[in-house]
Protein backbone atom coordinates (compact mmCIF):
# COMPACT_ATOMS: atom_id res chain seq x y z
CA UNK A 1 0.00 0.00 0.00
CA UNK A 2 2.74 2.49 0.96
CA UNK A 3 5.57 0.59 -0.69
CA UNK A 4 8.04 2.61 -2.72
CA UNK A 5 10.49 0.46 -4.67
CA UNK A 6 13.35 2.71 -3.55
CA UNK A 7 12.65 2.08 0.15
CA UNK A 8 13.91 -1.25 1.51
CA UNK A 9 10.99 -3.14 3.02
CA UNK A 10 10.13 -6.46 4.61
CA UNK A 11 6.69 -7.94 5.17
CA UNK A 12 5.47 -9.98 8.12
CA UNK A 13 5.87 -13.24 6.18
CA UNK A 14 9.59 -12.50 5.68
CA UNK A 15 10.23 -11.23 9.18
CA UNK A 16 11.83 -14.14 10.97
CA UNK A 17 13.09 -14.43 14.53
CA UNK A 18 16.72 -14.13 13.38
CA UNK A 19 16.11 -10.74 11.76
CA UNK A 20 14.16 -9.57 14.81
CA UNK A 21 16.98 -10.67 17.12
CA UNK A 22 19.62 -8.88 15.05
CA UNK A 23 17.71 -5.69 14.25
CA UNK A 24 17.18 -2.53 16.24
CA UNK A 25 13.37 -2.40 16.14
CA UNK A 26 12.24 1.23 16.05
CA UNK A 27 8.57 1.99 16.65
CA UNK A 28 7.71 5.47 15.35
CA UNK A 29 4.03 5.55 16.40
CA UNK A 30 2.51 7.99 18.85
CA UNK A 31 2.59 7.20 22.62
CA UNK A 32 -1.08 6.13 22.77
CA UNK A 33 -0.48 3.62 19.94
CA UNK A 34 2.68 2.32 21.62
CA UNK A 35 0.81 1.85 24.91
CA UNK A 36 -1.78 -0.35 23.18
CA UNK A 37 0.96 -2.83 22.30
CA UNK A 38 4.28 -3.10 20.48
CA UNK A 39 6.92 -5.60 19.43
CA UNK A 40 8.85 -6.83 22.44
CA UNK A 41 12.25 -5.20 22.71
CA UNK A 42 11.35 -2.32 20.38
CA UNK A 43 12.54 1.21 21.03
CA UNK A 44 9.91 3.94 20.93
CA UNK A 45 10.75 7.22 19.21
CA UNK A 46 7.68 8.92 17.70
CA UNK A 47 8.26 10.04 14.11
CA UNK A 48 7.93 13.71 15.11
CA UNK A 49 10.91 13.31 17.48
CA UNK A 50 13.12 11.20 15.24
CA UNK A 51 15.14 14.05 13.75
CA UNK A 52 16.18 15.37 17.17
CA UNK A 53 16.72 11.86 18.61
CA UNK A 54 18.48 10.22 15.63
CA UNK A 55 21.60 9.80 17.76
CA UNK A 56 19.73 7.10 19.73
CA UNK A 57 19.54 4.95 16.58
CA UNK A 58 22.66 2.79 16.07
CA UNK A 59 24.86 3.16 13.02
CA UNK A 60 26.17 -0.41 13.17
CA UNK A 61 22.91 -2.37 13.26
CA UNK A 62 20.03 -2.95 10.84
CA UNK A 63 17.07 -0.77 11.86
CA UNK A 64 13.57 -2.16 11.40
CA UNK A 65 11.11 0.76 11.32
CA UNK A 66 7.56 0.02 12.49
CA UNK A 67 4.34 2.02 12.66
CA UNK A 68 0.64 1.14 12.41
CA UNK A 69 0.46 0.20 8.71
CA UNK A 70 3.74 1.28 7.09
CA UNK A 71 3.36 4.95 6.10
CA UNK A 72 5.19 6.68 8.94
CA UNK A 73 7.78 3.92 9.16
CA UNK A 74 8.45 4.39 5.44
CA UNK A 75 9.23 8.06 6.10
CA UNK A 76 11.43 7.06 9.04
CA UNK A 77 13.26 4.53 6.84
CA UNK A 78 13.99 7.20 4.22
CA UNK A 79 15.20 9.67 6.84
CA UNK A 80 17.40 7.13 8.62
CA UNK A 81 18.95 5.98 5.34
CA UNK A 82 19.82 9.62 4.60
CA UNK A 83 21.55 9.69 8.00
CA UNK A 84 23.71 6.65 7.22
CA UNK A 85 21.59 3.99 8.90
CA UNK A 86 20.84 0.57 7.39
CA UNK A 87 17.08 0.97 7.70
CA UNK A 88 14.23 -1.18 6.42
CA UNK A 89 10.50 -0.50 6.53
CA UNK A 90 8.18 -3.05 8.13
CA UNK A 91 5.45 -3.17 5.52
CA UNK A 92 1.97 -3.50 7.02
CA UNK A 93 3.21 -2.43 10.45
CA UNK A 94 1.58 -3.47 13.68
CA UNK A 95 -1.67 -4.17 11.83
CA UNK A 96 0.04 -6.95 9.85
CA UNK A 97 1.98 -8.08 12.94
CA UNK A 98 -1.21 -8.57 14.95
CA UNK A 99 -3.09 -10.12 12.00
CA UNK A 100 -0.34 -12.74 11.84
CA UNK A 101 -0.91 -13.50 15.55
CA UNK A 102 2.58 -12.35 16.50
CA UNK A 103 3.06 -11.48 20.20
CA UNK A 104 2.35 -7.95 21.42
CA UNK A 105 4.09 -6.50 24.45
CA UNK A 106 2.46 -4.02 26.82
CA UNK A 107 5.55 -3.28 28.95
Confidence (pLDDT) at 1 = 39
Strand order in the sheet with 87-90: 9-10, 87-90, 63-66, 24-27, 43-44
Helices (H), 28-106: 31-35, 47-53, 71-82, 93-99
Question: Using the 8-state DSSP alphabet, how is residue 18 labeled?
Answer: H
Average pLDDT over residues 65-71: 97
- List active site positions: 67
Confidence (pLDDT) at 8 = 93
Average pLDDT over residues 75-80: 98
In whole angstroms, what is the distance from residue 9 CA to residue 81 CA?
12
Report pTM. 0.93
pLDDT tens per residue across span 8-60: 999 999 998 888 999 999 999 999 999 999 999 999 999 999 999 999 999 99
Confidence (pLDDT) at 22 = 93
Confidence (pLDDT) at 5 = 60
Mean pLDDT of all residues belonging to the chain: 94
Amino acid sequence: MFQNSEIPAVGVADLDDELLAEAFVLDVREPDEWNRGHIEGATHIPLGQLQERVGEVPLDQKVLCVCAVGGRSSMATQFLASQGRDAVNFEGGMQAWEAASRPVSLD
